[in-house]
Amino acid sequence: MSENQFKGAFILLLIAVFLYISQRSFHCYHTENAFAPHSNEACGSLVVQLEGDKNNSGIYFLPEDSSGYDLLAIAGVEDIKKFDEKDLTVKLRNGSKIILSSNKENHPYFELEQMKATTRFVLGMPIEVNRATSKDLELIPGIGNKTAGAIIAYREKIGGFNTINEISKILREKRLMNVAKYLCIEKPSFGNRESAAPLFD
């Protein structure tokens, strides 16, 4: 085998490994509009992350208005009925992360968190500007350490952004237009655990 043939075979092997890992890591339930559209005001379609289950952890694309139960069912998590109904009926939001665990009595439960900004960025999802750290904002092309610090300082001064346009106090209009597609503002009702109708009789 010549050197060029060896290089070609090696590259094909790398591509095959990458495709295999991608298929194992990403579970596509809803393929239409899979990636959340960028928005100047609000985050879009439902993309959620599941952790804590060795067989089913990964990223899932779900229909809007999906609940914790919907995610666990789609992921194929076993013994869903053992989870508390308040967990199962919680409405998921774009960028939700569910971490599965169990207590000393082996009763399963999950913690509801937000995806890390780095994960959102890699998935093509906007970063929630009211939760972003300086390092999160620095992921965005055109925002450096100084600008990120200024955005956070102004955010703390006004008690949080209501619209992306408020960042115009920090960035000029043209620059804001370039970075706005990477940012969003989510409604404050994230993680609402009010119980809906019982799932099981």
- The one-digit pLDDT tens for each residue of the chain (201 residues) are 556 555 555 665 656 555 555 544 444 443 333 333 333 334 446 899 999 887 888 999 888 888 999 999 988 888 888 888 888 888 898 888 989 888 777 788 888 888 898 888 888 888 999 989 999 999 999 899 999 999 999 999 999 999 999 998 888 888 888 888 899 887 654 444 433 333 333
Are the CB atoms for 170 and 151 separated by under 8 Å?
yes
Q: Which residue has the tokens 């999160």?
A: 136
> Count of residues for the chain?
201
By C-alpha distance, which of 190, 199, 198 is closest to 91? 190
Would you say residue 139 lies in a domain? yes
In a domain, 173, yes or no: yes
> Does residue 99 form part of some domain?
no
CA distance 61 to 75: 11
Across-strand partners of 58? 50
What is the token pair recorded at 189? 């009702």
Residue 44: predicted pLDDT: 46
The answer to whether 68 and 87 are in contact (CB under 8 A) is yes
| 43 token code pair | 């985050």
pTM of the model: 0.59
Any domain includes 165 = yes
What's the maximum distance between 2 C-alpha atoms anywhere in the chain?
68
Residue 66 lies in a domain: no
pLDDT reported for residue 54 = 79
Residue 186 lies in a domain: no
Q: Looking at the domain assignment, is residue 199 inside a domain?
A: no
DSSP state of 190: T
Q: Which phi and psi angles does 152 have, rounded to 5°? A: -65, -40
Rounded CA separation 145/122 (Å)? 20
Q: Which two tokens stand for residue 74?
A: 């789609």
In eight-state DSSP terms, residue 191 is T
141: containing domain = 127-180
Q: List the CATH number of the domain containing 167.
A: 1.10.150.280
Q: What is the DSSP string of 53-77?
A: -TTT-EEEEE-TT-BHHHHHHHHT-
The alpha-carbon radius of gyration of the chain (Å, integer) is 20
CB atoms within 10 A of CB 22: 9
In a domain, 73, yes or no: no
**What distance in Å separates the CA atoms of residue 185 and residue 30, rounded to the nearest whole number?**
23
Number of domains forming the structure of the chain: 1
CB proximity list for 148: less than 8 A, separation 6 or greater: 134, 135, 137, 138
